[in-house]
Amino acid sequence: MLTSAAPFGVVRCSILRGSEGVAAERGFPSFLPTEVEKIQDRTTRDMAKRIERVPVKTSFSKNYILSSCVKPLQKTEEKPTVLLHGFDSCSSCLEWRYTFPLLEGAGLETWALDVLGWGFSDLEQLPPCDVVSKREHLYQFWRSHIKRPMVLVGPSLGAAIAIDLAVSHPEAVSELVLIDASVYAKGTGWLSKLPRFAAYAGDLQIEKMIGGDYEKGGIYFLSDSVGIATFSTTSLSSSFQWHLRLGHPYVSKLRHLLPHLSVPESFQCEACQLGKHTRSSYSLSLSPSSYGLFDLLHVDVWGLSEVASRSRFRYFLVIVDD
């Protein structure tokens, strides 16, 4: 299922590390940022305490990559469910903190993984984080630790990795679950042979590009040979880092989760602005303004659209009968 062919940038996320041993004193892994101590939400704390690093051997790194994940409490004979996350600058497996215990409670063998370049993995050796490396890292993680066909869950651009792995290594994926899926605009494997209208279906415009091969007609294309765009979170405020790590909660929710952290009144978060737009409703009128069809029409003309419709129109007329 292709729901959006969003342009894809390759990111390496360098997360601020806390001092060794401080978090571990209360059950948190020592590699987590020290701010984790300030989290008050029990569900988030419980999942953070379960994050661990496991070794993954890849062809592009001389050393094992210590990759962060949350492993299942017990393994079952059923297909394991593996959760990937989206691609914000500090996304991590903690985005699944409320869903993960529900899946486990339903008796599913559930894993939550940090995609290469994100989360809490050890990236001190600066491994490549391009499309091919992400695919190999996930596949080698599966070969070393999961070892059975899995139900792979990918939200947003996490779906791009899920689709890429399923195409390249079908033996690893028994089923795909795509949530608000975005895909590589150019496609991978046999998907690159899709008709243009299918490969580029959906919302093709994102104003901010963080990495790409070339641009044509407002679409940014990425090939496997694209270099790495380095993105460091050290310039971001600590509260904004946690806003990204925890899946973009509202300011009030973030203050509840981290009451000891200084949280501003609002964040200039582009993802929130684009994804949480709402439209104000009209107030109820005390007296009717119309009594029959077409008595009162509300008309609006919108344009000029940068992207033409399939019929090559760039202006749109909206007519609403009162």
Is 1 part of any domain? no
**Do 322 and 220 have their domain in common?**
no
Structure confidence at residue 183 (pLDDT):
65
**Do 197 and 310 have their domain in common?**
no
**Do 196 and 133 have their domain in common?**
yes
Structure confidence at residue 232 (pLDDT):
34
Structure confidence at residue 1 (pLDDT):
34
Is 195 part of any domain? yes
Structure confidence at residue 313 (pLDDT):
84
3-class SS of residue 103: helix
Structure confidence at residue 288 (pLDDT):
67
Structure confidence at residue 15 (pLDDT):
36
Task: State in Å, rounded, how far the first CA of the chain is from the last one.
Answer: 37
Cα dist. 221→30, 130, 165, 189, 208 in Å?
39, 14, 19, 15, 13
DSSP H stretches of helix in the chain = 42-50, 99-105, 131-141, 158-168, 196-199, 238-245, 251-257, 270-275
Instruction: Give CA–CA dist 218/228, Å, rounded.
Output: 21
Structure confidence at residue 282 (pLDDT):
63
How many domains are contained in the chain? Answer: 2
Structure confidence at residue 95 (pLDDT):
92
Angle between helices 131-141 and 158-168 (to 10 degrees): 70
Count of Cβ atoms closer than 10 Å to residue 277 Cβ: 7
Residue 177's CATH number: 3.40.50.12270
**Do 299 and 266 have their domain in common?**
no
Domain with 316 in it: 289-322
**Do 18 and 105 have their domain in common?**
yes
**Do 194 and 305 have their domain in common?**
no
Structure confidence at residue 138 (pLDDT):
95
Query: What residue ranges of the chain have pLDDT lower than 70?
Result: 1-26, 88-90, 183-237, 274-288
pLDDT tens-digit readout, 2-35: 333 333 333 333 333 333 344 444 589 999 988 8
Handedness of CA 131, 137, 143, 145 (dihedral sign): negative
**Do 143 and 231 have their domain in common?**
yes
Is 280 part of any domain? no
Is 281 part of any domain? no
Cα angle 78-72-110, degrees, rounded to a multiple of 5: 55
